[in-house]
């Protein structure tokens, strides 16, 4: 975390990738992270439950209580960071495992709506906000599928964490997304690629028009954090995040 501070970041993202690590976070790990971040003057922007990718990855996981079982542990962790108001749940690629009948799809989508509705209720009852992160080939589809989900839930409060890399590689009209979502935009994962593979390169290393997408966010009065999420080799982290931070900061200062 010291490297994050040295690179000029003021916020960081809380995240758990593996469900077996939840207990470590609940039983002391979150306090250690809190002490370290406080000492460096870093504030958490959001908590991303990456391990919940598995809760929406195939028919059996969608129909199960996976995700619902673990959400209480997630909220225990977030409760130790009063500056963290957003819980983000990613919906990863869905493996249909063969031919899917129309009735099967309807049942799966309805169960997805039900499960997300239960997660939304539990998160909001605790005083936090829930955002989804939509990956290519998710069970709900893309941005329009997310809006359909919101309509079916009857929710004005469910938000989206805008991952530019996922949306670009899924052939979304990237520059329309902020206008489509408006106040549902709760956070970002800023990363880049060339629009044909779901990579998470540093901003400026792919083909996204960054002044245009930052302008689109500003046009809807987006006030959330500009989080970077770059996937690179461990020895490249400092360089890639440093260059990404400098690049985005230069656009925001124009």
Condensed to tens digits (0 to 9), the pLDDT of residues 61-105 reads 999 999 999 999 999 999 999 999 999 999 999 999 888 999 999
DSSP H or E run through 160:
strand 159-163
- Mean predicted lDDT score pLDDT of the chain: 97
| Predicted pLDDT of residue 98 | 87
Write out the residue limits of the CATH 3.20.20.150 domain(s) in the chain.
1-157
Q: Mind listing the pLDDT tens digit for each residue in 102-133? A: 999 999 999 999 999 999 999 999 999 999 99
Mean pLDDT, residues 134-144: 96
Given a cut of 90, whether residue 13 has pLDDT beyond it is yes
Query: What pTM does this model have?
Result: 0.96
CATH number, span 1-157 = 3.20.20.150
């Amino acid at each position: 975390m010291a490297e994050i501070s040295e690179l000029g970041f003021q916020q960081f993202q809380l995240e758990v990738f593996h469900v077996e690590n939840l207990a470590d976070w609940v039983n002391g790990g979150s306090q250690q992270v809190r002490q370290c971040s406080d000492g460096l003057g870093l504030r958490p922007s959001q908590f991303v439950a990456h391990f919940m990718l598995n809760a929406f990855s195939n028919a059996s996981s969608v129909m199960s209580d996976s995700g619902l079982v673990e959400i209480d542990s997630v909220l225990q962790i977030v409760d130790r960071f009063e500056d963290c108001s957003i819980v983000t749940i990613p919906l990863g690629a869905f493996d249909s495992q063969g031919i899917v009948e129309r009735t099967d799809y309807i049942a799966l989508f309805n169960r997805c709506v039900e499960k997300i509705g239960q997660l939304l209720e539990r998160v909001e009852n605790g005083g936090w906000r829930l955002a989804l992160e939509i990956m290519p080939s998710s069970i709900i589809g893309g941005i329009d599928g997310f809006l359909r989900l919101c309509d079916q839930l009857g929710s004005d409060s469910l938000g989206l964490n805008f991952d530019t890399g996922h949306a670009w590689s899924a052939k979304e009209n990237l520059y329309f997304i902020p206008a489509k979502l408006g106040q549902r935009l709760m956070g970002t994962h800023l990363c880049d690629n060339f629009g044909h593979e779901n990579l998470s390169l540093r901003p400026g290393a792919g083909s996204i028009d960054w002044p245009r997408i930052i302008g689109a966010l500003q046009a809807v009065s987006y006030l959330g954090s500009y989080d970077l999420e770059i996937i690179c080799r461990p020895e490249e982290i400092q360089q890639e995040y440093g260059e990404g931070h400098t690049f985005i900061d230069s656009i925001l200062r124009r």
